[in-house]
Amino acid sequence: ILNVEQSPQSLHVQEGDSTNFTCSFPSSNFYALHWYRWETAKSPEALFVMTLNGDEKKKGRISATLNTKEGYSYLYIKGSQPEDSATYLCASYNFNKFYFGSGTKLNVKP
Amino acid sequence: EPEVTQTPSHQVTQMGQEVILRCVPISNHLYFYWYRQILGQKVEFLVSFYNNEISEKSEIFDDQFSVERPDGSNFTLKIRSTKLEDSAMYFCASSPAGQGVYQPQHFGDGTRLSIL
C-alpha cells in the first residue's frame, strides 16, 4: 500500500491570511494528483487534477503546484475567507489505483 | 448542477447479512468508483468500473464484494456476509469520458454502513 501524506493535519488562520499546505505522494508509476475540498457533512468537491511536472492550476483565490520528480504538491489559498473552512484532501493515482491523504483541516476565523 | 446520489444515507445491518448500496452517477459519466472511509482513517479506494466491467480493484475488494450496473443508471456495491469491520462510510463517484483518471471525480454524499 502506497502512502500519501498531508501536512499540516490542521491549520487555524485569520480571515485575510494566505496559507498553504502540502501533499506528498509516491513518484513511482505516478499518473495524476487530485485535490478536493471537503466540507463537513457534504461530499468531496473536486478542485484540481494535475498530471505534469511543473503544472500550476488556479481557481479564484486557490492555486496548486505539482512536482512529480520529488513527489509533492502545494495548495495555496490567498486571502482566506471563513467560507474556505473545510478539509482539503489530495489523492494520488499510482499503479492504477487512487491513494488518499488524511487531509488538512483548515479553519478560517473571521 | 447534476449530482451523484447515493441511497440509503444510513444502513444498519446485522453481521453476516448481505447489503446493497446504491448509487446513481451523473448521467453522461462513464467511469464509476467506490471508496470507503472507516471512522478516523483515510479514504480508501475499492474499485473502478468502466465499460460495464471492473477496470481496477484494491486488495480490500475481495470475493465478499461485487459491483454491478444493472440498468444503465444505477451502480451498486454488494457486500456479502458483512463483518463488523465493514462498518464505514461508503462513497460513490463518477467522472466523465476521456481518460477517467485525468478527469475530476464527482462524489455522492455517502452511505454510512453500520454493522451490528
Q: Is residue B24 packed enough to be buried (19+ CB in 10 Å), middle (13-18) or exposed (0-12)?
A: middle
- Percent of chain A residues past pLDDT 90, beyond the cut: 94
B90 at interface of A, judged by CB pairs closer than 8 A: no
- Percent of chain A residues past pLDDT 70, beyond the cut: 99
Q: Could you read off the pLDDT of A47-90 as tens digits, one per residue?
A: 999 999 999 999 999 999 999 999 999 999 999 999 999 999 99
| Residue A36 pLDDT > 90 | yes
Residues 47-76 of B with CB under 8 A from A: 55-56, 58-59
- Distance set, CA B33 to CA A81, B63, B75 (Å): 32, 17, 9
| Residue B98 pLDDT > 90 | no
What's the pLDDT at B72? 79
Q: Could you read off the pLDDT of B11-56 as tens digits, one per residue?
A: 999 999 999 999 999 988 999 999 999 999 999 999 999 988 999 9
What's the pLDDT at A105? 97
- Percent of chain B residues past pLDDT 70, beyond the cut: 99
Q: CB of A26 within 8 A of CB of A71?
A: yes
Region of A90 (left: φ > 0; alpha: ψ -120 to 50; beta: rest) is beta
Facing residue for A42 by CB, picked from B42, B104, B109? B109
Question: Which residues in chain B are closer than 8 Å to A48, comparing Cβ atoms?
Answer: 104
Q: A100 and B44: CB-CB below 8 Å? A: yes
| Residue B1 pLDDT > 80 | no
A39 at interface of B, judged by CB pairs closer than 8 A: no
Average pLDDT, chain A: 95
Q: Could you read off the pLDDT of A98-107 as tens digits, one per residue?
A: 999 999 999 9
What's the pLDDT at B19? 97
What's the pLDDT at B101? 85
What gap in Å lies between CA A35 and CA A44, rounded to an integer?
A: 9
Q: A43 and B108: CB-CB below 8 Å? A: yes
Residue B116 confidence class, pLDDT cut points 50, 70, 90? very high
Residue A62 β-bridge partners = A59, A77
Closest CA to B49 of B10, B8, B100: B100
What number of C-beta contacts closer than 8 Å exist between A and B? 46
Question: By mean pLDDT, which of A1-5, A17-21, A86-90 is the weakest?
Answer: A1-5
Residue B94 confidence class, pLDDT cut points 50, 70, 90? very high
Facing residue for B102 by CB, picked from A4, A36, A49? A49
A98 at interface of B, judged by CB pairs closer than 8 A: yes
Question: Which residues in chain B are closer than 8 Å to A99, comparing Cβ atoms?
Answer: 45
Q: A101 and B59: CB-CB below 8 Å? A: no
A86 at interface of B, judged by CB pairs closer than 8 A: no
